[in-house]
Copies of this chain bind each other. A is one copy, B any other.
Amino acid sequence: MADDTRERLLRAATEVFAEKGYAAATVREICTRADANVALINYYFGDKLALYEQVLRDVVAADPARAPGLLGASPEEGLRVIIGTMLEKASEARGNSSLRYRLMMHEFSHPSEGTVRMLEITMRPVYDKLRTLVSAISGLPATHDHVRLCVHSLLGQVAHFAHSGPIMEALWPEMKLTAEQRKMVAEHIAGSMLVYLRETSPAAHL
């Protein structure tokens, strides 16, 4: 039952971290959900942070930034797909692949002790992928300030729509990120960026 318990702990930890972020998650809740004793987290992983890193490592075993349907698509379509995927995965309930995005977006809007690890492990690939896409669309090098600004704008917007529950509730109660609304938001974010990139790309100034 040893490995079994370890697995249960990992699974529970993944859920709780994805739901609440690193700081707000408590080892006691994780253990309760895993039907395990509080001491077992330290027994198996050392401490809370090490558990978190293990969760990240496990969950990242999945695709880094290769959303299905992204291969062969135009950069424009790629942008739409990746934004849509992030939003969708960030608001889905569970399912191993979506937890990855929930973790990512949670840490993104609630930076914490574990954030730096998380960033390097899970965010970097997405960030770089987005830069590649924006670079291809705009015709600018991926290191250009303009490209970086656009990518951060995208990430900032996604994080906001996906993870500022209380704010949304207060300012726009109808926005609950239903499947329909998610599509609308994704199209808004990707669409507005594409319009902007088209207008400001060097090609537009011929």
Give the interface of A toward B (CB within 8 A).
Answer: 108-111, 115-116, 119-120, 123-124, 127, 145-146, 148-150, 152-153, 155-157, 159-161, 164-168, 170-172, 175, 184-185, 188-189, 192-193, 195-196, 199-200
Contact = CB atoms under 8 A, between A and B. Distances in A.
Contacts of A156: 156-157, 159-161, 164
A116 B145 CA distance: 35
A189 B108 contact: no
Given A160-B156, A175-B148, A111 B165 contact: yes
Contact of A157 (B146, B153, B167, B188): B153
| Number of chain copies forming the complex | 2
Nearest to A153: B157
Nearest to A149: B188
A86 to B, nearest CB: 13
A184 B200 CA distance: 15
18 contacts: A108-B164, A110-B110, A111-B165, A111-B166, A115-B167, A123-B167, A150-B188, A152-B157, A152-B161, A152-B171, A152-B175, A153-B189, A156-B160, A156-B161, A192-B196, A195-B195, A195-B196, A195-B199
